[in-house]
Amino acid sequence: MQQSKTQDTLVGLFVAAGIAGLFFLSFQVSNLSSLSQREGYTITARFENSGGLKVRSPVSAAGVKIGQVSHIYFDTKTYQSVVTMRIDSQYNTLPDDTTASIFTAGLLGEQYVNLEPGGSDSFLKDNSKIDITQPAIILEKAIGQFLFKAAEEKSE
C-alpha cells in the first residue's frame, strides 16, 4: 500500500511538472502573456512603404518596446500601407504629434516601428491616427542613391 502511495505521488508530480512546462512555454516563451494579459489601445499610421514590417513586429519608443503591430493592410485608394499598432495601456501619454518611422534593428535585423514623441500637450487615444510618418528605408534604394551620388560627384 505504501509503495502504491509513493507511486501516486510521483505520477502527480510528473503531471504537475508537465503542466508547468506547458505554462512556461505559453507565458514565458511565447507572446500569449502580451496578448491576453496586458490592456492596451490601438493607433494607426499610414506609411508610403512599410518594408519588411510584419504583424507582431515590435513598436518601441526611445529603444523600449511599448507595443506591437497588430494589423497591416494596403489601402487601394491612397496606395499606402496602413499599420495598426497596439500600445500597452501604461504608455498613455504619447503626444498626438508623435512621429512614426520604420527602422531596422542592425543591418540584417528585423524591422520595427519607432515612435518619436513630439511636443504637443494632447495625447494619442484609442483609434488615434499618427500623421507624421517616415517610410522604411529600402536597402537597395539607399545603395542605388549612394552610388548615383558618388558617380555625380566624380563627374563634377
Partner 1 sequence: MIQYLQTLGAQTRASFTKLGRATLFLLAVLSGIHSVVPRPKLLLNQLYSVGVLSFLIITISGLFVGMVLGLQGYYTLSDFGAEESLGVMVATSLVRELGPVVSALLFAGRAGSALTAEIGLMKATEQLSGMEMMAIDPLKRIIAPRFLAGLLSLPLLSALFSAVGIIGGELVGSGLLGLDEGAYWSQMQAKLDFQGDIVNGIIKSIAFAFVTTWIALFEGYDAIPTSEGVSRATTRTVVNSAFSILGLDFILTALMFGDH
Which positions touch partner 1 (CB under 8 A)? 7-8, 10-11, 13-15, 17-22, 24-26, 28-35, 56, 58, 65, 68, 105-109
Inter-residue long-range contacts of 77-83, CB under 8 Å, 24+ positions, other chains counted: 78/46, 80/46, 80/47, 80/48, 81/46, 81/47, 81/48, 81/49, 81/50, 81/53, 82/44, 82/45, 82/46, 83/44, 83/45, 83/46, 83/47, 83/50, 83/53, 83/113
Q: From the CB of 58, what's the least distance to partner 1, in Å?
A: 5
Q: CB nearer to partner 1: give 28 or 122.
A: 28
Q: From the CB of 152, what's the least distance to partner 1, in Å?
A: 32
Q: From the CB of 39, what's the least distance to partner 1, in Å?
A: 17
Q: CB nearer to partner 1: give 70 or 128.
A: 70
Q: From the CB of 125, what's the least distance to partner 1, in Å?
A: 25
Q: CB nearer to partner 1: give 63 or 119.
A: 63
